[in-house]
Chains A and B, each alone.
Chain A
């Protein structure tokens, strides 16, 4: 048996989905010599190969593509970029010194990287994490697991379906299951509004007359070996069940679309601090974590609306990782960024005052119309509408940031008639 294989690379990218692919290609474009992309699955693309629906590539490739097509085009770019790829390779450890331990059929590897870009994406929240009461029969799947079963493996998970969660993946699976001959009895949503894009509300639910119950939750699952029925009930503003509103559905399958959680086991091992709301690493405007030389991009930082935005964010991270290696990262005094009012979270969490422009992303907590996004007192923008499912991007010129002394608070407030906070 051979010993541990030791390697040295300039940039190591962990994860080969739309984020990792974008980061690796960009790192080579920025002049990094040895770029290694490590992926645990048998093929590149991350979750894209199972996303056979449209909605990818409109921004990045200026074409409306399916997930597999987007992956195909990214992989084509990768193949001519000079990136080294390791498939079926699992990273099992990452240290603050940017030493990666990885395992595959060849054995164990220790890779020393000058910079690391974390692109591990997300995991789905399972039943146990939300503690749905009742029996524990077979037939409970996360929506993404069911999507993989149908679109890659060719199995139909069930015939009579209930879906919990009206985020995009839940709605997309409602359509997919209906098209493949299953009966989707209802989509159940905890919040008083639908969680995903309007486009999906129409083309996945309304198109197929699938009822949606907002402000509802599952009160019990019944079944011995397999699900036999599921009961839901309406909840009040304090999330308490309203008596007498129970409805029972005879179904054999439950799909859960109740949250994507950035996968940060490795980040924690490296001492990377995480954001309490997003679950992703705390990053600065260069998408660098608190660990020098460890950057992060894509959904591992926060869940993006589109794969195009995922690729863009990991490209930012890669550009900065390359500058870091060349010693060209402009340091600067750091100011913290926080949020209040109707802003659920903001990324990045701190900004370096080095004269460089900053891009910020945020989401509102509740849908609202005629609002104003205010960044400290240096910038504001009026919006006709803001929805939790649509991330908001703010580009701040470097000169504006230089005017800040203390932290920046980002807020979403109703527009005032006499407001004089125009575009920054």
Chain B
């Protein structure tokens, strides 16, 4: 079985073909111009991951700015993005928050934290 992945590591955006056995093992990788494309394609086909950027609610009286923008400290499995969003929907953060502060630890047991990407004053 063949899967085609577009590598996003550089502007070439190589279309990399990955041949898989019936059991899902990688047999061959082709179409990449460099080694980064090879590793990227393997990861994408076996266990695609994504960094999640979203917002979490702030516990405060400031109705005009009720949200804090956040980002995961690393990539999490693409298949679990929905679950991650539902988990973060019930998180409430208290002001003040510093840029870079961890606002949620170990998202879905992945070891990845959720980090504030802006600052909120009290």
Stretch of A90-98, A196-204, A343-351 on the interface side: A196-204
Asked if B51 is at the interface (CB within 8 A of a chain A CB), the reply is yes
State A80–B11 Cα separation when bound (angstroms): 35
CB atoms of A151 and B51 under 8 A apart: no
Q: Out of A49, A71, A179, A198, which one reaches B54, CB within 8 Å?
A: A179
Asked if A23 is at the interface (CB within 8 A of a chain B CB), the reply is no
CB atoms of A52 and B55 under 8 A apart: yes
Asked if B13 is at the interface (CB within 8 A of a chain A CB), the reply is yes
CB atoms of B12 and A66 under 8 A apart: no
CB atoms of B69 and A66 under 8 A apart: yes
B50 surroundings in chain A (CB, below 8 A): 203, 207
CB atoms of A72 and B99 under 8 A apart: yes
Q: Out of A53, A152, A180, which one reaches B85, CB within 8 Å?
A: A180
Query: Which residues of B does A touch, CB under 8 Å?
Result: 6, 8, 11-13, 50-55, 57, 64-67, 69-71, 78, 81-82, 85, 99, 117-119
Query: Which residues of A does B touch, CB under 8 Å?
Result: 49, 52-54, 64-69, 71-72, 150-154, 179-181, 198-199, 202-203, 207, 384, 390
State A151–B54 Cα separation when bound (angstroms): 8
* Distance in Å: Cβ of A181 to nearest Cβ of chain B: 8
CB atoms of B53 and A52 under 8 A apart: yes
CB atoms of A53 and B53 under 8 A apart: yes
**The 6 A-B residue pairs with the shortest CB-CB distance in the complex, in nearest-first order:** A68-B118, A52-B69, A69-B117, A66-B117, A68-B69, A154-B66
14 interchain pairs, CB-CB under 8 A: A49-B118, A52-B55, A52-B69, A54-B53, A65-B117, A66-B69, A68-B118, A72-B118, A72-B119, A150-B55, A181-B85, A199-B8, A202-B8, A390-B11
A152 surroundings in chain B (CB, below 8 A): 65, 67
10 more A-B residue pairs beyond the given contacts A53-B53, A72-B118, with a C-beta to C-beta distance below 8 A: A52-B69, A52-B70, A54-B53, A66-B117, A69-B118, A151-B55, A180-B85, A199-B8, A202-B8, A384-B12
Given contacts A52-B54, A151-B55, A390-B11, contact A179 B81 (CB under 8 A): yes
Closest to B100 in A: A69
CB atoms of A198 and B71 under 8 A apart: no
State A390–B13 Cα separation when bound (angstroms): 12
Given contacts A179-B85, A202-B6, contact A154 B118 (CB under 8 A): no
B118 surroundings in chain A (CB, below 8 A): 49, 68-69, 71-72
A180 surroundings in chain B (CB, below 8 A): 54, 85
State A49–B120 Cα separation when bound (angstroms): 12
Q: Out of A53, A153, A207, A384, which one reaches B78, CB within 8 Å?
A: A207
State A69–B119 Cα separation when bound (angstroms): 9
CB atoms of B8 and A198 under 8 A apart: yes
A150 surroundings in chain B (CB, below 8 A): 55
B57 surroundings in chain A (CB, below 8 A): 154
State A384–B10 Cα separation when bound (angstroms): 14
B55 surroundings in chain A (CB, below 8 A): 52, 150-151, 154
B11 surroundings in chain A (CB, below 8 A): 390
A72 surroundings in chain B (CB, below 8 A): 99, 117-119
B67 surroundings in chain A (CB, below 8 A): 151-154
